[in-house]
Chains A and B, each alone.
Chain A
Amino acid sequence: MAEWEVLAARRDALRARKNALLTGAFGAVGLATVLLVFALVAIIAVNGAPTISWEFLTQPPREGMSAGGVGPMIFGSILLMLGAFVMATPLGVFGGVCLAEYGERSRLMRLMHASVAALAGTPPIVYGLFGLAIFVLKFHFGVSLLAGWCTLTLFCVPAIVLTTEAALKTVPAALIDGGLALGLSRWQTLWRIALPYALPGIFTGVILSLGRAVGEATPVLFTASVYYSTAETKLGWETLRQPVANLPYYLAEGYRQPGVVPERFIWGACLTLIMLTLLLNAGAILIRSRMRRRYL
Chain B
Amino acid sequence: MWRIRLFDTLVQAATWAAGGLLLLTIVAVFYYLFAESQYAFQRQFPFGFRVALQSPDSEYRDEVSMDPTAGLLATHREGSDELDDAEDVTRLPAHDELMQMQSLVTATAQTDNPSQLRTDALFRDCMRAPKRAEQGERFLLLAFALPNYTGDTMVLAWEPDVSFDPAYCPYELRLRLIRAPKGVSVDPFEIDLRRQPKGRLELPVWKARSQDEWLQGYLFELEARPTTTTTWATLQQFLKADWAPTILYARFGMLPLLLATLLITLLSVGLATPLGLAAAVYLSEQASPRIREWFKPILEILAAIPTVVLGYFGVMLIAPALQQLFGEALQLSSGRGLLATALMMTVFILPTIISLSEDALRAVPNSLREGAEALGLTLVERVRLVLLPAAKSGLIAAGLLAIARVMGETMIVWILSGGTPTMPDFSSPTAALGTLVKPTRGIPDTIAIEMGNVEFESPHYGHLFLLGLTLFVLTLGINLLGFAYRKRAQVSL
Contacts and interface: CB of A to CB of B under 8 A. Distances in A.
B448 interface: yes
B52 interface: no
A15 to B, nearest CB: 6
Interface string A85-113: 00000111111011101100000100111
Nearest to B317: A43
A57 interface: no
B281 interface: yes
A248 B312 CA distance: 12
A15 B298 CA distance: 33
Interface stretch (A26-34, A172-180, A228-236): A26-34
A273 interface: yes
A130 B287 CA distance: 44
Nearest to B313: A40
Contact of A29 (B275, B299, B300): B275
B23 A115 contact: yes
Contacts of A190: 11
B26 A118 contact: yes
Interface residues of A, number: 90
Given A26-B286, A273-B308, A114 B480 contact: yes
B19 A98 contact: yes
B23 A129 contact: no
Given A15-B381, A34-B298, A255-B315, A119 B282 contact: no
A285 B299 CA distance: 12
Contacts of A93: 18
Interface in B260-290: 275, 278-279, 281-283, 286-287
A186 interface: yes
Interface stretch (A62-70, A237-245, A274-282): A274-282
Interface string A25-59: 11101100110110011011000000000000000
Given A23-B286, A218-B410, A187 B12 contact: yes
A234 to B, nearest CB: 27
A193 to B, nearest CB: 13
Given A27-B286, A98-B16, A129-B33, A37 B275 contact: no
Interface string A192-208: 00000000000000001
Contact of A116 (B22, B308, B444): B22
B388 to A, nearest CB: 13
A122 B29 contact: yes
B411 A252 contact: yes
Contact of B444 (A36, A123, A273): A123
Contacts of B325: none
Interface string B286-306: 110000000101111110111
Interface of B: 4-5, 7-8, 11-12, 14-19, 21-23, 25-26, 28-29, 32-33, 35-36, 275, 278-279, 281-283, 286-287, 295, 297-302, 304-309, 311-313, 315, 317, 347, 350, 354, 378-381, 401, 404-405, 407-411, 414-415, 444, 447-448, 451-452, 456, 464-465, 468, 471-472, 475-476, 478-480, 482-483, 486
Given A133-B36, A212-B304, A215-B307, 7 more contacts: A41-B301, A91-B18, A115-B22, A129-B451, A218-B411, A218-B444, A281-B301
5 contacts: A44-B309, A112-B19, A121-B475, A215-B309, A251-B312
